[in-house]
Amino acid sequence: MTARLDSPLKVTGRARYGSDHNPPGMVFGYVVLSTVAHGEVTAMDVTAVRDAPGVLAVYTPFESLELHTPHNPIMGATWVPLQDTDVAYRGQPIGFVVAETFEQARDAASLVEVSYRERTPLTSLEDGLAAAEDAPPSMDGSPHTVTVLASGVESIEDALAASPVVVEATYTTAPQNHAAMEPHSAVAVWESGTLTVYSGNQGSDLQAASLAQALAEPLSAVHAVNPFVGGAFGGKGATSVPAFLAAAAARDLGRPVKAALTREQVFTATGTRAATVQRLALGAEKDGTLVALRHDSWSSTPMSRAFIEQTSHSTSREWYTTPNMVISQKMVPLNIPPTTFMRAPGEAPGSFALESAIDELAVELGMDPIELRRRNSSLAPPGKDLQWSSKHLDECFGIGAERFGWSQRSEGGRVDGDWLVGLGTATAMFPALRFPASVRVTLNADDTAEVATSGADPGTGLLSVLSLIGADSLDIAPERVTPRLGDSALPSGGMSGGSTATASAGSAIMVAAPEVIDELLTLAAAPGAPFEGAEVSYADGRVLATDGRSLTFGEVLRAVDRSSIAAVGSSAPGEEMSKHSFSSFGAQFCEVRVHRWTREVRVSRMLGVFDAGRIINEQPARSQLMGGMIWGVSAALHEGMEIEADGRLANGDFASYLIPVNADIPDVDVQFVQYPDTLHNPVGARGVGEIGIVGVAAAIANAVFNATGTRVRNIPIAIEDLL
Ligand code: MOS
């Protein structure tokens, strides 16, 4: 186990985040947000703003900074501000004031007089259901209604009607804000025709490409830097409004510009998790064999229809074997803040519905919910028929049940004084993905090495993982390997998203390291070199000759007068994708205590047992999973954006948007079963970033049912749901 290399810098405040950069001559931008949820800006009177002290520029849709919509292969199109007068939600960026100080910019921004032509907003998912539209095909190109029927079965309705046991229920999940510790911000500097942007994001090369497209500048003129990121998890996958505005204003003014959203602005001017309504119907034989599954899902989407929360596709499509399945995904366009990826997009809310429904079916059957899950565990996703590369979910449940004391669970829970105590469980799954990535591996004459890629460590521990895989591939101690990330000038590492970074970058290291070792051996045996003409090999950081002589790689480099040698390795998903299905798996366990009189819910114990292939570094892997599980508690019991009929967010700050504090979280037990998945990638690691949140909300709701007999089908679960 290796401690995270960035931890000392972070806990001592020495880590420099994007907006910690303060180049000389820097000025400050403040973003102006709309105060209506739907309509058009007809005029913006900025006379008083211009006259305010320190103001350098005011940008509006009427006097705008030119920005073009960028597209990237992972995030798709990214909205850019101030390019038209449409208002699609309340809290939408509509102006940008730049002044000598932050305070001057903020004060001046308050003097903008905006006139609107208002239209009635549509903000409630329930009200929007009638106008729901079929979602466009998902990212893998598959349609959003998928039908699998056994031969001779006419419809899923027939299959359900023929099922001896049926449960049907509708579940809802609240929209959520990312609430990352580091608000979206950027510092932009133009110098001799080159733009450098310091800004937290999930992939600096993608950030540089987006900014270059938005500004219509050549890619070579844009340099994106993000050494540290204070929380991302999908919320910093796309380039942010402050980054676009700071970059464009810096070019316009010829001064470095810093722009940072306030905490309140983060709530609407970035990306949120969609609200969902999900209707589930499960049909089973009396022995628990699933024979029919229907999962219809609706998710809120902004009027731009930019993002779909793929709940039914991410869960019901793959998790259980069933001969008859229909899943659908519809979007409900609303005048709400943008929706985007958030930790386990699709699986997090989708698993609440599916895993609650499975628990309801277990109750109906009088069957242990773990036994029911075991019986229907899929060998291959229904309709896809490619078997899982490596699945040890049953073992996760076995270990978890033993460790958690599942056999002590009784129907109706138990009573401890004034507390009703219940246990719940749920499956967790998250697809194992990876993206194309390139990594440069360098050997230095001082016997150190460097592993460098443009990707991001958004707090996941990727830095340490790179040094470990680098050390393993070079056969030297990890302390000798310096990892570098977060700079678009480095080889393209893609995005730290989709729980992919270890598999993507790690695989590229395993290509680059043998190449640089080959080059070292060639150098070592070249004419005039220490091993001229000899047969040489490499081990333990040394070049070895058959006659027993050996030198460290640094000694060889010094002898041939080289300060360093480097190789860039690239890796991408390949034909393995047509041979197997890939996923991480987990079993979530939870104990809740519900107060008999106040109906307060406390989570008192949690355990997650995960099958995520090879674990490279246990400490940060455990932290990732723990963080996900805590986010799951938050989703189940705390978080939810309350959007009023006029589109105002009623709880857009940390005083009113509930997130758990330490006192809400018990000891979180995280266990692994480790089966390296080398069918997926040479490292054998699958993702651990997102699966931690999956299933947690269902495990909690199932535990609440066990404790109280009340089935709550909406999250967050509130006291009034249990009265
Ligand atoms: Mo993640 S939600 O793919 O950053």
Q: What is the pLDDT of residues 698-721, one digit of tens each?
A: 999 999 999 999 999 999 999 999
Question: Which sign, positive or negative, has the C-alpha torsion 401, 404, 407, 410?
Answer: negative
- Select from 403, 451, 443 the least CA-distant residue to 423: 403
State which ligand 1 atom lies nearest to the alpha carbon of 498: 3
Q: Please name the residue that has the structure tokens 């749901």.
A: 721
How much is the average pLDDT of 138-152? Answer: 85
CA–centroid distance, 690 to ligand 1, in Å, is: 7
- Select from 492, 538, 164, 123 the least CA-distant residue to 332: 123
More confident residue, 136 or 562: 562
For β-strands 27-33 and 257-260, DSSP reports them as: parallel
Triad 536, 539, 542: Cα angle to 5°: 75
State which ligand 1 atom lies nearest to the alpha carbon of 236: 4
What are the residues facing 483 on neighbouring strands? 451
Share of the chain above pLDDT 70, in %: 100
pLDDT by residue (tens digit) across 1-26? 677 888 899 999 999 999 999 999 99
- Name the closest-CA residue to atom 4, ligand 1: 234
For β-strands 165-173 and 276-284, DSSP reports them as: antiparallel
Which of 690, 693, 694 for a ligand 1 pocket mutation test, highest count of atoms within 8 Å of Cβ? 690
CA–centroid distance, 270 to ligand 1, in Å, is: 14
pLDDT by residue (tens digit) across 439-488? 999 999 999 999 999 999 988 999 999 999 999 999 999 999 999 999 99
Q: C-alpha distances in angstroms, 107 versus 52, 264, 705?
A: 8, 16, 51
CA–centroid distance, 233 to ligand 1, in Å, is: 5
CA–centroid distance, 251 to ligand 1, in Å, is: 31
Cα 43 vs. chain centroid, distance in angstroms?
Answer: 38
- Select from 608, 685, 628 the least CA-distant residue to 459: 628
**pLDDT attached to residue 74:** 79
**pLDDT attached to residue 72:** 82
Total residues found in the chain within this entry: 723
State which ligand 1 atom lies nearest to the alpha carbon of 341: 2
List, in order of start, the domains of the chain with CATH numbers: 376-428+581-723 (3.30.365.10), 437-572 (3.30.365.10)
Triad 183, 184, 189: Cα angle to 5°: 125
**pLDDT attached to residue 139:** 67
Mean pLDDT of the chain: 96
pLDDT by residue (tens digit) across 346-356? 999 999 999 99
Q: Which residues contact residue 268 at a Cβ distance below 8 angstroms, ignoring those fewer than 6 apart?
A: 33, 89, 90, 91, 92, 337, 649, 652
Q: C-alpha distances in angstroms, 365 versus 127, 372, 470, 696?
A: 35, 9, 51, 23
Q: With beta carbons less than 8 A apart as the criterion, state whether 196 and 246 touch.
A: no
Cα 653 vs. chain centroid, distance in angstroms?
Answer: 22
Question: Can 118 be counted among the known catalytic residues?
Answer: no
State which ligand 1 atom lies nearest to the alpha carbon of 343: 2
Q: With beta carbons less than 8 A apart as the criterion, state whether 290 and 382 touch.
A: no
Q: Above 80 in pLDDT, residue 141? A: no
**pLDDT attached to residue 75:** 80
Strand order in the sheet with 668-673: 414-416, 419-431, 583-595, 601-611, 668-673
Catalytic member of 182, 591, 639, 690: 690
CA–centroid distance, 107 to ligand 1, in Å, is: 35
Q: Which residues contact residue 360 at a Cβ distance below 8 angstroms, ignoring those fewer than 6 apart?
A: 167, 169, 282, 711
Which of 139, 177, 233 for a ligand 1 pocket mutation test, highest count of atoms within 8 Å of Cβ? 233
> For 657, which DSSP code?
S
Q: What is the pTM of this model?
A: 0.97
For β-strands 290-302 and 325-334, DSSP reports them as: parallel
Helices (H), 129-229: 156-161, 204-215
The set of protein residues with a Cβ atom below 6 angstroms from ligand 1 is: 202, 232-234, 237, 341-343, 345, 497-498
What are the structure tokens assigned to 196, written together? 């450098």
